Structure 1
């Protein structure tokens, strides 16, 4: 094969970069579409504050019926130490989206098949969560008077949300399921799948820490995280396995007979 034929088969570097850029922009567009869908859901929930507050009290009573730990009891030792409060608030405000984005970028560059699988997981979970947000508006513990919990973001900072009656940028009455917990589980599952050795299980520390943070800051009930995990499991069951390009072999390789 001559040089001209090789050049015809192999695309030039600028073409490959342009293709990669178009793919990256397409992925960015998909993420932006998810964000716009969430904004639409925020407008749809507006005006249902009383229902969201009543549902918050119902969830609180339901958790006591199931003998789940009291969220306020988890928050009290955190409030006793300013450092713990600021660490929890900082984790809630600054780790969730950057950690998810960093994981997706790394998977996109190093494990494209698992990136696609993870993106589908996140999209499926987010779509299901939006449907539940519309059906069951739910006030978080920090906005439900019955819980007696402190809004640590507003009391200590940094505050992610503004006053709920004037905040048009976020849906503060969509506590169930917790996308913080659901996305953290999805990221951990994907990273466990592409790494090797026992240390890979340390990725599960991220969703566990996220669950403790969202509860101790008064942003979610235990059931919000549990429902997120159940919904994510359902989404995973509906998704095809990542196509890594390798065919699984369940039988031992055949031995070549001696001549």
Structure 2
């Protein structure tokens, strides 16, 4: 039996993976470059942050400071939160996309389209509505735990030059985490798949306790992603769409 065809197929498959990853990484780079172009109008950003805090008080949400104060009482927890913030968000997203591409191609297409749609919409909001994050809003008196622990992504010269720190809302950390959870739950059949919901919940805790986002930043990121998933959802009846997401043929 000739091995030429399988070898060529593997090479083609590898090239496809590289091309898809390049698209996602390229979009992420453009997103960060776009955020850099946003004017960092500190007065407007502070005013928008104040509006968010007013809305949270009206909704009777717990303060971000109270959550952080509790987390700071547990050194191991705040260190874990810092590491989760800098180490899990992007690597896990890429890992899940690669797995979906390999084993659940229709679900991968759905996830990629929704991710690009949500990220593009978030960029527009970041440019038009700058928001000061809690760690930079002096009136809150919150601790920049990443900077204090030496694990802030904004301390790295390259990353800091590619970042606009006044783009707190919506939180794509929370949004992307929820996107992964929803797509994986839809694309898998294991009874353990529901545990993926712990990822967005943990991410929400992390971004608030580290003073990177407000509660409503996370809520906005979640709403944005749910809308993007709905807009890019597989077309067809449920009975036809589910087998497609699972990578199975309909009969």
TM-score past 0.5 threshold: yes
- State the alpha-carbon separation in 1 of the partners of residues 190 and 13 from structure 2: 31
Decide which of 122, 129, 146 is 1:129's aligned counterpart.
122
Question: Equivalent residue for 2:28?
Answer: 35
How much does 1:146 deviate? 2.3
Question: Equivalent residue for 1:15?
Answer: 8
- State the alpha-carbon separation in 2 of the partners of residues 226 and 113 from structure 1: 27
Contact 1:86 1:157 in 2 (8 A): no
Question: Equivalent residue for 2:131?
Answer: 138
Q: What do residues 97-130 of structure 1 show as CA deviations (whole Å, max 9, x unaligned)?
A: 1211111111111111111111111111101111
Question: Equivalent residue for 1:59?
Answer: 52
Q: What is the TM-score with the length of structure 1 in the denominator?
A: 0.86
- Radius of gyration: which is bigger? 1
How much does 1:169 deviate? 2.0
Higher helix share: 2
Q: What do residues 207-248 of structure 1 show as CA deviations (whole Å, max 9, x unaligned)?
A: 000000000000000111111111111112211316445338
Runs of 4+ in structure 1 deviating by more than 3 angstroms, as ranges, are 242-248
- State the alpha-carbon separation in 2 of the partners of residues 94 and 199 from structure 1: 24
How much does 1:194 deviate? 2.2
Q: What is the TM-score with the length of structure 2 in the denominator?
A: 0.88
Question: Equivalent residue for 1:246?
Answer: 249
SS in 2 for 1:190: helix
SS in 1 for 2:155: coil
- State the alpha-carbon separation in 1 of the partners of residues 166 and 101 from structure 2: 33
How big is the alpha-carbon RMSD for the aligned residues of Structure 1 and Structure 2? Answer: 2.2
Question: Equivalent residue for 2:225?
Answer: 232
SS in 2 for 1:78: helix
Q: What do residues 131-171 of structure 1 show as CA deviations (whole Å, max 9, x unaligned)?
A: 1111111111111122221100111231221399x932212
- State the alpha-carbon separation in 1 of the partners of residues 190 and 7 from structure 2: 38
Contact 2:114 2:228 in 1 (8 A): yes
Question: Equivalent residue for 2:238?
Answer: none
Structure 1 stretch displaced more, 10-19 or 65-74: 10-19
- State the alpha-carbon separation in 1 of the partners of residues 101 and 156 from structure 2: 37
Question: Equivalent residue for 2:103?
Answer: 110
Residue 227 to residue 92, structure 1, CA distance change in 2 (3 Å): same
Residue 33 to residue 217, structure 1, CA distance change in 2 (3 Å): same
Residue 11 to residue 115, structure 1, CA distance change in 2 (3 Å): farther
Q: What do residues 160-186 of structure 1 show as CA deviations (whole Å, max 9, x unaligned)?
A: 21399x932212111111010000001
Contact 2:170 2:220 in 1 (8 A): yes
Decide which of 123, 140, 143 is 1:147's aligned counterpart.
140
- State the alpha-carbon separation in 2 of the partners of residues 132 and 201 from structure 1: 31
Say how many residue pairs are matched: 240
